Structure 1
């Protein structure tokens, strides 16, 4: 009898191999607590703690043991992280990536999903919940916090789909020219969308728009 259980592209024996976790974070604010918690659990092993996604890390992934999960703390430069996530998923399409963000990630939820992220959590998620989500991710499940679901519903009730796309790009620090190229519209079209967004939020600039969105409940 075959004693192997397939989870995604991974094969785990009945004894259950340890889940190897690679933490990527440019701050020690949370990850030391999470690292210590995961290493105390029989099910997990933190194999590395890196400051940032980069080419060196990209090249080293092939030698790390499976099953492997990347836990990425997105604290700044989301556009940089998303670019590297796309590169990782292109090279390693079955590599699970879980993002923990201190941003109101509802603004670029679709961008992260399209980049190939498997799960997205608030950065203050407890170590116990993170452990549960790692296992859910390997089982092929998507975890959506209720607070995020409620906020997403609120935003989709206020803004159109194209306005939400524009808000995501604002959050990712795209210029008007970059947004025009990404959205396949003219500069004037981008400016028109921004005006409608500002009117709905009763603000006058990008920074105020992002701040207002983050304050939505």
Structure 2
């Protein structure tokens, strides 16, 4: 059973989706948040298969919440579920790390398809947006963060994730500790994390080690 965190400030929307997904055998809303800050706090403490996120929130813009979620849990799929225009917000959402964009006016079967697609690890694009991407109207989605690392940065990342000290990494690579620190700083910036613990979690979530 895939667990879903829904982030929407309208109780009617949350209730409707909860009831809608209750009729499925593979999806369940296990947590709800009515604001961006509440959503971020839940993501820090819990674990879900998917976050269903609105853009229009009362405290923090949904796209900023998305960025915070991806910093905390890079491997956690986020599906934007909004009344805003796909033409205006779909591409920025994808560029910020979303796994898909879905308009709230979408028919039930499309909502289920989108959620199941994203839970399954793929990106969801509406037929309209997919056609635009294929036609070259919109840019193709960006690379995963770790795919931007150099070979040496990847080596350092994997050693850091195993708890290897900077001094020991320097000895293994025959470089100074200062150079290793520079590699670490670049890795942290590229992956959008804050600590070695988050680096380790990133490696585990993306099965890099």
Q: Same fold (TM over 0.5)?
A: yes
Q: Structure 1 residues 60 and 29 mapped into 2: Cα distance closer, same or farther (>3 Å)? A: closer
Matches within 5 A, 1:5-154: 18-54=1-37, 56-66=38-48, 68-75=49-56, 80-149=61-130
The Cα shift of 1:76 comes to 5.8
**Any unmatched runs of 5+ in structure 2?**
140-209
Residues 134-160 of structure 1 deviation map (CA, whole Å, 9 limit, x = unaligned): 221122222222234457789949xxx
**Any unmatched runs of 5+ in structure 1?**
1-17, 162-217
The Cα shift of 1:38 comes to 0.7
Residues 101-126 of structure 1 deviation map (CA, whole Å, 9 limit, x = unaligned): 21113223332112100010111123
Secondary structure, in 3 states, of the residue corresponding to 1:47?
strand
- What RMSD, in angstroms, separates the aligned Cα atoms of the two structures? 3.0
Contact 2:21 2:27 in 1 (8 A): yes
Distance (Å, rounded) in 2 between the aligned partners of 1:85 and 1:41? 26
Secondary structure, in 3 states, of the residue corresponding to 2:115?
helix
Instruction: Give structure 1 regions of 4+ aligned residues with deviation exceeding 6 angstroms.
Output: 151-155
Residues 12-42 of structure 1 deviation map (CA, whole Å, 9 limit, x = unaligned): xxxxxx1101111111343322210212222
Secondary structure, in 3 states, of the residue corresponding to 2:118?
helix
Q: Structure 1 residues 78 and 53 mapped into 2: Cα distance closer, same or farther (>3 Å)? A: closer
Matches within 5 A, 1:157-172: none
Aligned length: 139
Structure showing greater relative contact order (alpha-carbon pairs closer than 8 Å, 6 or more residues apart): 1
* TM-score, normalization by structure 2: 0.56
* TM-score, normalization by structure 1: 0.54
